[in-house]
Amino acid sequence: MRANRVMKTFVRATFLTASAATLVVSLQGCVLALAGAAGGGALIATDRRTIGTQTEDREIQVKAFSQIANEIPDSHVNVTVFNRRVLLTGEVADAAKRQRAEDITRGINNVNVIVNEIAVQSQSDFSSRANDSYLLGRVKTALIAEKGISANDFKVVAERGNIYLMGLVTVDEGGRGTDVASRVPGVVQVVKVFEYIQPEAAQALQASATAAAGAPAVQGEQVEPTVGAVPSSSINAQPLEQQAPAPVSNATQVRPGNPNSKTGQ
């Protein structure tokens, strides 16, 4: 009887913890949506990618995820695509399956670059994935609160406490966004998967995206091209809880894709 009571208590506590995590993520999602609206419209309206590229990225993501799930069913692989750059994260049982996931992705049309960050280990559990969802919301909220950068310029992925940052950004923007993410409590490591552009190109892309959305362009501060090391610190505009900066690294498993594939997949 006592054992049964202990088990019931454990199950109830686990359920409440999961429910709380889900609620927090949902509330953060509301905050993000409201913040985006308050900033002047839907976030996608100022995406630096063209509408065509955004559509292409979604097609690549759906195809890669579907094919990997079909061919490696006993795995946990997430596919994120930004500007035809594919990030693979998650867990598989062995190196052969890790390579197979990459090969499947390479066979899809219009993939420029593949960043394979899949870990060879047992699959993450429910608690780990719930924590990742929580961290994802925290990082996005911190990016929105940071002055001088636009959260919409960053694609954020969370996996086992690691934060992966993608996007078309300047070196300065990437450095500031990375520093913000690294200070979010609970973040284990930040991995940069950026595609860097010059400040002039960033302003041109921003103006083009704003014009496409039918809104007046906002003149940003003129910034000289950044030279040298990425800044390691920034001033947070909001009194959000912070931790000492987590380790930061560049993605190392970067391999060419198959941009000219004509397989029809």
DSSP characters over 45-70: GG-SS-HHHHHHHHHHHHHHHHHHHH
Structural domain contains residue 86:
yes
Domain count, the chain: 1
Structural domain contains residue 75:
yes
Structural domain including 87 reads 51-122
Beta bridge partners of 76: 91
Structural domain contains residue 153:
no
Structural domain contains residue 257:
no
Task: Identify the burial level of 261 via C-beta atoms within 10 angstroms of its C-beta, where 0-12 means exposed, 13-18 middle and 19 or more buried.
Answer: middle
pLDDT of residue 99: 98
Q: Which of 168, 170, 229 is nearest to 195 (CA)?
A: 168
Q: What does each C-alpha distance from 133 to 114, 129, 161 come to in angstroms?
A: 23, 6, 10
pLDDT of residue 261: 57
Structural domain contains residue 161:
no
Phi/psi-derived region of residue 217, left when phi > 0, alpha when psi is between -120 and 50, beta in every other case = beta
Between strands 254-258 and 111-116, the pairing is antiparallel
Beta bridge partners of 86: 81, 114
Domain at 79, CATH number:
3.30.1340.30
d(CA 187, CA 136): 10
Q: Which residues of the chain have pLDDT under 50?
A: 4, 6-43, 217-238, 262-265
d(CA 60, CA 55): 9
**This prediction's pTM:** 0.71
Contact 90, 122 (CB under 8 A): no
Contact 182, 219 (CB under 8 A): no
